Structure 1
Amino acid sequence: MRLELRPVRPAGWWFDALLVAGFALVTFLLAAKTPLLSADLAVRDFADAHRPHWFYIALRIGNLLGQGGAVLTPLVAIAAFFLSRSRHTIRPFLPFIGAELITYVTIGPLKLWTDRTAPSNHVLSHPEWLFRIDSGLSYPSGHVVNTVVFYGVLATMLTGVVRPGVVVALRYTVPLVVLFTTTFLSFHWLTDGIAGIMVGLLLDRVLGRVPWDAIPLGSRLTRSGWAGPFYDTQEPARITR
């Protein structure tokens, strides 16, 4: 059985290559100790000097949108459950599982490989570059990657279910909020978040291409009627080449 890829926007593989090149470039510039590190430090120092208590509380609330285990995973799982019940198919759970797997095998290894210390460590007089000996798990921002991926999955599931404005807000506005809050709280360097956006978009495009309605689910689910389509009933499927 030949599975055909679902469409992504912008179409084609050139944008994926651009994201990979962008992440590689930022990583190289940080590892080479270029002036990009000074920009990170300037942003961290500005944020620390302009964060009154009321703003800090607002930032922490906004940053909750990017909490993986506490918010993202339950939110997408609950949405998948109700959509599964309403359409009588388990397929809404498939991209949720895919998101869990793809973030698990990418974010952790990248953090361990790059080994960057977070900006909240004020013992440092400069933003730490990459590939250090001591332990650091700051690059890329897992908050931002998870937000792009999981809200992207949620937006895909809700396409045709809620208003288009809600889908756009989930896919684009929420990741920008998390990028801003995680940087202004000094949880991550600015470049951690920028790299997280690029990695997140790349993973989102990988998940977006998967033909979730065509994946075989076994004869038992098929006979019980729980293997029916969901995604291709929302929008016409085309092949992205």
Structure 2
Amino acid sequence: MLRPVRPSGWWFDAVLLAGFAAVTLALVWRTPLLDLDLAVRDLVDAHRPGWLDTTLRWCNRLGQGGQVLTPLALIAAFVMARRRHTVRPFLLVVGAFALTYVTIGPLKLWTDRLAASEPTDPHPELLFHAEQGMSYPSGHVVNAIVWYGVLAALLTGVLRPGLVLAIRYTVPVVLLFTTTYLSFHWLSDGLAAILLGLFLDRVLQRVPWDAVPLGRIDRAGWGVPFFGAPGAGQTQAPARITR
């Protein structure tokens, strides 16, 4: 049985996917969204002092999947696995890695959009324009939503609820701002990434990780449940297992 999410039902998932499709089509059909992308790019390029540029580049590292987020998730999963005597925290990490791998990269390769900072192309804002383009959607923003959601799920019951919410929602907002302000991505790259990231996050929330059969691992006592009934992507800490 799938785990419940908030908002409940599949209607919100459909809204997210429809929104992602709408943003994509708006870019393909050269609607005013492209003009907005160009206006935002020109505005931030003209108002980016050196000290702020340096600061935001460091903040932008919070969205690096392979160098920051995956290692953090693995460390959190290892700590919680040892603490609760179960390998099930790693299932969520593996699921998140697989889901982001089969979605973000292929979409970037398919849409062929250059970065907002591309200086040598007269129309870098266009989709399906340059084979070397990999800007759409913003991988940093998608990673932030998915991976900080993973961290929040793993650390619920250990950290204060307010800190869990901050981890889950604050960093994606920071990444949306930094990637746009630094012209690493167009504004619409980030907007599409929010819609895609929330959808992927809900997919991960729905998976009944505690019900996945683990065979010998279960029989060895390392497959006890870890994820309780979720609320908005969070988990309840199970009782400590004594041996």
Please indicate, yes or no, whether the TM-score normalized by the shorter chain is above 0.5. Answer: yes
Deviations 1:48-90 (A, max 9, x none): 1111111011101110110111110110000000000000000
Q: Among 73, 77, 95, which residue is 1:76 paired with?
A: 73
Aligned to 2:106: 109
1:25 aligns with 2:25: no
Matched with 2:190 is 193
Greater displacement, 157-166 / 205-214: 157-166
Which residue identity is paired with 2:227? Y
Structure 1 partner of 2:236: 235
Offset of 1:122 from its aligned partner?
2.0
2:228 match: secondary structure? helix
Q: Is the 8 A contact 1:91 1:213 kept in 2?
A: yes
The one-letter code matched in structure 2 to 1:145 is V
TM-score (norm 1): 0.93
State which of 208, 216, 226 in structure 1 corresponds to 2:213: 216
Deviation track 1:88-112 (CA, whole Å, cap 9, x = no partner) reads 0000100100010000101111111
**Structure with more contact order per residue of length (Cα contacts < 8 Å, sep ≥ 6):** 1
Count of residue correspondences: 233
Among candidates 172, 177, 194, match of residue 175 of structure 1:
172
Provide the alpha-carbon RMSD of the alignment: 1.5
In structure 2, how many angstroms separate the alpha carbons of the residues matched to 1:54 and 1:232? 45
Q: Partner amino acid for 1:58?
A: T
Aligned to 2:240: none
- Match of 1:9? 6
More displaced, 81-90 or 107-116?
107-116
TM-score by length of 2: 0.92
SS in 2 for 1:19: helix
Structure 2: gaps spanning 5 or more residues: 230-234, 238-243
Once the 2 structures are TM-superposed, how far is the Cα of residue 132 of structure 1 from its aligned partner?
Answer: 2.0
Q: For 1:76 and 1:161, how far apart are their aligned partners in 2?
A: 15
CA contact (8 A) 1:40 1:127 kept: no
How far the C-alpha of 1:223 sits from its partner, in A, is 2.2
SS at match of 1:60: helix
Q: Match of 2:87, as an amino acid? A: I
Runs of 4+ in 1 over 6 A off after TM superposition: none
Deviation at 1:133, TM superposition (A): 4.9
Equivalent pair of 2:62/2:69 in contact (CA under 8 Å)? yes
2: distance between equivalents of 1:49 and 1:129? 22
Report how far residue 126 of structure 1 moved.
4.3
Q: In 2, distance between residues paired with 1:205 and 1:228? A: 23
% of aligned pairs identical?
66
